[in-house]
Structure 1
Amino acid sequence: MAIRRIIVLEDDIDGSAAEETVRFAIDGNSYEIDLNSAHAEELRATINRYTSAGRRTAGPAGKTRRPTSGRSRSAQIRAWAQAQGLSVNSRGAINREITAKYEAAH
């Protein structure tokens, strides 16, 4: 048996047939709205009044990677702590007290 699914976009303003989904963002919040061509044009014209007076900015910054040197430093701290007889996990964050003792010793 065949199944056919039909997705019909409705204009979120008046319920008529929507022709596109418009995405926009303001104050750090992203939105999308399904609109017919007239409402999409109206939205763009309204927003254009403000965007043409404003200035573009860079998008949100992505996650920064931890430098490789941080990993080797962690390995050095762990090795030192174990040599000193201190209890330190082989993975995860290193206790601040152990890090402070390592820095004081070096």
Structure 2
Amino acid sequence: MAQIRTVRLVDDMTGGEADETVVFGLDGAVLEIELSSGNARALREALAPFVVAARRAGARRTGRRAQSGGSRARASAGGVEIREHNRAVRAWARDSGFKVSARGRLSAEIVAAYEARAAEPETKATAARSRPRKSGLRNEPSSAAQSGTPSSVQFSG
């Protein structure tokens, strides 16, 4: 005997019909909630200022995605662009006289100088202006390091 089973999503906030399941994390917990399109948009809009200010952390791999490697494949697609960007920043920094490690985070000062350089047409005068004079970028500790404030930036997709 053939059977047809229908799954109906119910909006966890209103009890009405839901259009999607939203997965998000908070305080180390991965949460799911079924929401209508309007409620999903409202949740994303409410979290947007916090998401913009946050940084990505290592994700816990649980359930089907961990077994299939599904999230790893998606994460590596954006990682290629990030690695290429970081390579370009490191190459520019070395060519411009900055002291930069081969691996690890790029300092905020180097990234800011690279972005300022990228915003202007490259000339010898521009290159000289984009390099700070006697700042903390070469051998001296930066003001951020002296104050205990983290001064590194990591790009994530």
Please state which band the TM-score falls in when normalised by the shorter chain: 0.5 to 0.7
Structure in which a larger fraction of residues adopt helix: 2
| Secondary structure in 1 matching 2:24 | strand
- AA aligned to 1:22 is V
The residue number in structure 1 matching 2:51 is 51
The residue number in structure 1 matching 2:23 is 23
- The gaps in structure 1 that reach 5 residues or longer are 62-106
- Which deviations, in whole Å up to 9, do the C-alpha atoms of 1:33-91 show, x marking residues without a partner? 00000000000111111111222223248xxxxxxxxxxxxxxxxxxxxxxxxxxxxxx
Q: Which has the higher contact order (CA 8 A, sep 6+)?
A: 2
| Secondary structure in 1 matching 2:40 | helix
CA radius of gyration, larger in: 1
> What is the RMSD of the two structures over their aligned residues, measured on CA atoms?
1.6
Report the alpha carbon displacement of residue 2 of structure 1 after superposing the two structures with TM. 1.9
Count of matched residue pairs: 61
The residue number in structure 1 matching 2:12 is 12
- AA aligned to 1:49 is P
TM-score by length of 2: 0.36
Aligned-pair identity (%): 39
